[in-house]
A and B are shown apart, each in its own frame.
Chain A
C-alpha cells in the first residue's frame, strides 16, 4: 500500500530537548516536504526536498532542520524546541515537480512543547 509514514504521531516534550520526527514514503517519490498546521493559518511549508541531498527552505524554516540522505526518508529535526513550535506536523511526498502531480500526506504528528 502506498503511504507516507510519520513517527511519532503524538509527542509532548520540554523546551530545549532535541527531537526528530521521522518520515518515510514507499512510493519512490523524489519530492518530499514538511508542513505545519496551526489554527487560522492553514498549512505552511517548513522545508522541502526535490531529491536526495537537495533540500531548501519553505515559508517557515526557523527552528527546524531536515536531511535527505536516502530517497525514502526525510526527517524533521528540532534542535532546541520552543513552545511556539507546538503544532500539528505533516510530511508529504510526490513523484516530482510539475503541475498535476498528486501530493500524498502522512497522518500527522501532534507535537506539544512545554
Chain B
C-alpha cells in the first residue's frame, strides 16, 4: 500500500538557518505530493504541492521537488524564521486507491531567535 516516511523531529534551528525535512514515499501509482503545515493550536494548511515528477512546489519561501527516481519530496527553506515554528506533514494522494490522502507522522520544527 501507499505510505509516507518523513524524518522524525523535533528539529530545532536558529533563525536564518537552512531547513531540510526529508520525505520519501511508497506508492503503486503516480501520486500527487503535498506538504501541510500545522501551526500551534490550528488545523492543517496546505503549504505546497506537486502533481507530477520533476514538478517543484513552492510557497512562503519553502520549496519541494517531486523526485520520482528517488521517491522523495524533501521540504527546504533557505532562511527560517521564528514564525515557521510548526509541525510539518508530508502527504501523498493517490485517488485510485481507497484512501486519497496518506500522511507521514509529522516533523515538529522549532526556530529560536
Task: Please report A residues at the B interface, Cβ cutoff 8 Å.
Answer: 31, 33, 35, 40-45, 48, 56, 58-59, 90, 92, 94, 97-108
Q: Which of B89, B99, B104 has the most CB of A within 10 A?
A: B99
Quote the shortest CB–CB distance from B52 to chain A (angstroms). Answer: 8
> B43 at interface (Cβ–Cβ under 8 A)?
yes
Can you list 8 A-B contacts with CB-CB less than 8 angstroms, sorted by A residue number? A31-B100, A42-B106, A48-B98, A59-B99, A90-B43, A99-B32, A99-B51, A105-B36
Note all chain B residues with C-beta closer than 8 A to A103.
34, 46, 93, 100-101
State how many angstroms separate the Cβ of B69 from the closest Cβ of chain A: 19
Task: Say yes or no: A97 contacts B43, CB within 8 Å.
Answer: no
User: Are A101 and B95 also in contact (CB < 8 A) when A42-B105, A45-B101, A108-B43 are?
Assistant: yes
B30 contacts A99, CB within 8 Å?
A: yes
Which of A33, A103, A106 is the most central at the interface, judged by chain B CB atoms within 10 Å of its CB? Answer: A103
Hey, which chain B residues are within 8 Å of A97, CB to CB? 95, 100
Whether B95 contacts A99 by the Cβ 8 Å rule is yes
Nearest to A104 among chain B residues (CB) is: B46
B90 CB to closest chain A CB, in angstroms? 9
Lowest 5 A-B CB distances belong to which pairs?
Answer: A42-B105, A97-B95, A99-B32, A107-B43, A105-B44
